[in-house]
């Protein structure tokens, strides 16, 4: 019997591997897909999907606790973790079965077993040699353990996803994506959480403004974190673990979750023996996934760069198309969107402000933040945060950074802007945000994009200082040029909270806003006070104290609430 020679043999059936297989088969290639575990890999079974199911369960717990705030009667009785596990596993199972059906329908040969590269065109699986004109390495990644034994109360994300109860307390080593997602989920389910992070901020790969906002949110949620703190050791005992840090402090908890990232799963797979160039376990490949060995390709977490399932998926498609003779656009890591599904949610794509300044020069970079407090959908969801755009002065948008509820749903628009290398005017001419949607937090059809964004922001803050003062004395509301309240009867005071809300309620898309009368010229002190409110203080943290130099005194809480409501009305 003649041995089958495949056009493409893929070692690893995770996101990158199965994407390459599906696209290759679609293009008429004969494909073999090799997997020792389950089709779908880490993302589907031990990573992205089950983690998001856990986070949704945690979000539901929060929603029940807070139901009374929206007029719904409900009582939170606790977390049935076996029930959560059943829910999570049902999601994974349905996705797995769907993927199996899709692979089968494409005529892909799925080969179960542990594969090892033994030649540039041969993968050996349990003694069977699988030959291909092209071999794609897609063996994925593993949870780093920094030399610690995973046992007792010391776990990784894989063990955390299988727990049959919510830990009463947890120390999480690592404040990156994995760490803050588990911290968020467990805190919502009632756990006392402490994060240990060696770098100066949580989610250190995000824009610094995002990191600071997340830290404020975590403080409010009573999630403890220690940044600039290095792990030293862990001791297991009957009650859990004692974690020691290099600053001499100890932390007691039921579990220690090690969440310091993932390493490339390339050991003992024959890559180096065949001559594939490696660096600290990673496979070196060019922008099209080609290694230094002709006919051998690599995709996903084993290739240096951001370790994200959708990045690996996209790379798999590029490799399949290249093998099939097409001319695909390579994957640029800078343009890969990132979402961290903690509460509040984080989404970003492109360059951070610091990275943009490093590349282009600080003097050539401008940025602007748009607080979501003036967005109706965000008010409904009770979220806080902002959308930040980074751009070249008089040039393209370089980065989109957002934090707040459901911001992951907005990152596609940010990715389009950044990938397109669009400048402000390009986008503004094409986009009208749907009213009532969270995307209104990014007011693209306005002066915010038609002029230098930073200059717009400062100009509008200056206008605000006088406009709010004018509004406080004239009784204007944000949705009426004449509210029917006379100057004599209007409240003569406005609190800092109302000032902040008034700015947030500014209708950037309006041709004429009552918040920006051209005739109002604020004093330096007024402008400074408004800037302080905008740049330094989350709206929820603004007190009812008067703004020095802006307004004489604070109104009663009832009057303040009424004014705030009017200021944010749309």
Catalytic residues: 435
Q: Decide: helix, strand or coil at residue 546.
A: strand
Sort strands 109-112 and 141-143 into parallel, antiparallel or unpaired: unpaired
Only one residue has tokens 């490093």, namely 358
Say if CB 352 and CB 390 are below 8 A apart.
yes
* Residue 378 CA to its chain's centroid (Å): 17
Q: Which of 162, 158, 157, 191 is nearest to 86 (CA)?
A: 162
Sort strands 122-125 and 240-245 into parallel, antiparallel or unpaired: unpaired
CB atoms within 10 A of CB 208: 15
Say if CB 135 and CB 297 are below 8 A apart.
yes
Distances (CA, A) of 487 to 274, 435, 470, 496, 568: 83, 31, 10, 21, 20
What are the tokens at 337?
């969107």
Beta bridge partners of 339: 347
* Measured distance CA(38)–CA(22) in Å, rounded: 16
Q: At what angle do helices 15-26 and 81-105 cross, to 10 degrees?
A: 30
Stretch (H or E) spanning 5:
strand 5-6
- DSSP H helices in 333-375: 353-360
Q: Which of 298, 288, 317, 290 is nearest to 27 (CA)?
A: 317
Say if CB 297 and CB 315 are below 8 A apart.
no
Distances (CA, A) of 195 to 56, 168, 331: 21, 15, 33
* Measured distance CA(403)–CA(424) in Å, rounded: 21
Q: At what angle do helices 496-504 and 557-568 cross, to 10 degrees?
A: 10
Q: Decide: helix, strand or coil at residue 263.
A: strand
CB atoms within 10 A of CB 521: 12
């Amino acid at each position: 019997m003649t041995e089958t020679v495949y056009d493409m043999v893929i070692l690893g059936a995770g996101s990158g591997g199965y994407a390459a297989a599906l696209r290759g088969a679609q293009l008429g290639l004969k494909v073999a897909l090799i997997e020792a575990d389950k089709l779908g890999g880490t993302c589907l079974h031990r990573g992205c999907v089950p983690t998001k199911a856990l986070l949704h369960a945690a979000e539901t717990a929060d929603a029940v606790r807070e139901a009374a705030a929206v007029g719904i009667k409900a009582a939170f009785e606790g977390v049935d973790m076996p029930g959560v596990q059943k829910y999570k596993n049902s999601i994974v199972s349905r996705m797995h079965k769907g993927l199996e059906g899709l692979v089968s329908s494409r005529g892909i040969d799925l080969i179960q077993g542990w594969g090892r590269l033994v030649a540039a065109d041969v993968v050996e699986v349990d003694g069977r040699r699988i030959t291909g004109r092209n071999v794609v390495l897609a063996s994925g990644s593993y949870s780093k353990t920094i030399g610690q034994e995973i046992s007792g109360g010391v776990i990784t994300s894989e063990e955390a996803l299988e727990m049959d109860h919510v830990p009463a307390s947890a120390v999480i080593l690592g404040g990156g994506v994995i760490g803050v997602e588990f911290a968020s989920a467990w805190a919502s389910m009632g756990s006392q959480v402490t994060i240990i992070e060696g770098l100066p901020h949580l989610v250190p790969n995000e824009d610094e403004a995002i990191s600071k906002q997340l830290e404020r949110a975590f403080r409010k949620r009573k999630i403890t974190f220690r940044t600039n703190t290095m792990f030293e050791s862990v001791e297991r005992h009957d009650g859990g673990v004692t974690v020691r840090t290099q600053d001499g402090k100890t932390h007691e908890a039921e579990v220690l979750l090690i969440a310091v990232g993932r390493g490339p799963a390339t050991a003992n797979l024959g890559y180096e023996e065949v001559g594939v160039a490696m660096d600290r376990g990673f496979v070196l490949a060019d922008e099209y996934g080609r290694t230094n060995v002709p006919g051998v390709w690599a995709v996903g977490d084993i290739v240096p760069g951001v370790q994200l399932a959708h990045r690996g998926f996209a790379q798999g498609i590029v490799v399949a198309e290249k093998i099939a003779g097409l001319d695909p656009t390579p994957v640029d890591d800078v343009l890969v969107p990132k979402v961290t599904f903690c509460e509040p949610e984080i989404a970003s794509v492109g360059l951070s402000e610091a990275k943009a300044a490093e590349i282009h020069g600080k003097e050539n970079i401008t940025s602007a933040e748009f607080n979501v407090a003036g967005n109706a959908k965000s008010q409904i969801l009770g979220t806080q945060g902002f959308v930040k755009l980074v751009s070249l002065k008089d040039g393209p948008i370089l980065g989109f950074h957002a934090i707040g509820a459901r911001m992951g749903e907005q990152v596609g628009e940010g990715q389009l802007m950044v990938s397109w290398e669009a400048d402000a005017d390009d986008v503004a001419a094409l986009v009208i945000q749907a009213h009532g949607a969270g995307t209104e937090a990014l007011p693209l059809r306005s002066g915010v994009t038609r002029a230098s964004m930073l200059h717009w922001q400062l100009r509008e803050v200056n206008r605000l200082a006088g406009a709010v003062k004018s509004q406080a004395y004239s009784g204007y509301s944000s949705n009426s040029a004449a509210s029917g309240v006379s100057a004599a009867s209007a409240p003569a005071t406005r609190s800092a909270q109302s000032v902040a809300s008034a700015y947030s309620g500014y209708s950037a898309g309006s041709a004429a806003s009552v918040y920006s009368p051209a005739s109002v010229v604020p004093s330096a002190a007024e402008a400074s006070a408004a800037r302080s409110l905008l740049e330094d203080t989350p709206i929820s943290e603004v007190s009812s104290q008067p703004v020095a130099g802006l307004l004489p005194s604070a109104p009663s809480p009832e009057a303040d609430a009424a004014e705030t409501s009017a200021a944010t009305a749309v």
